[in-house]
Amino acid sequence: MRMTSLITKATVIFLLFLFAVSAAFAQTGETYFEAGNKKYNLGDYKGALLDYNKAIELNPKDADYYFNAGVAKILWGQKDSGCMDLSKAGEMGVFKAYYVIKKFCN
């Protein structure tokens, strides 16, 4: 077997290994959303917001991310921004957002 053929096979195997490792550690919107929920439940609203914002960045079409971010922002004292996130969640179909808006944003 030629040396270049061995090097090519080794390179392919190495690249496949790197892809598998990176896929195992890939973060998704859902991963950040779940991490945010854990922090939220512990009262760490700032930490939860960082995770919710990353979830929104990775998947801006998930209305639940905006809802949770909005509630966390309100509890952390960022009322205006939280109300905007809740409004977006409501527009995207999370109708309970309107109840929270009515209670905290008016």
Tokens of 46: 């700032």
* In the chain, where the domains are located: 28-104
Q: Is residue 14 predicted with pLDDT exceeding 80?
A: no
Which 3 state secondary structure label does DSSP give 5?
helix
Model-level pTM?
0.76
28-104: CATH class:
mainly alpha
Q: Is residue 20 predicted with pLDDT exceeding 50?
A: no
pLDDT band at residue 18 using 50, 70 and 90 as cut-offs:
very low
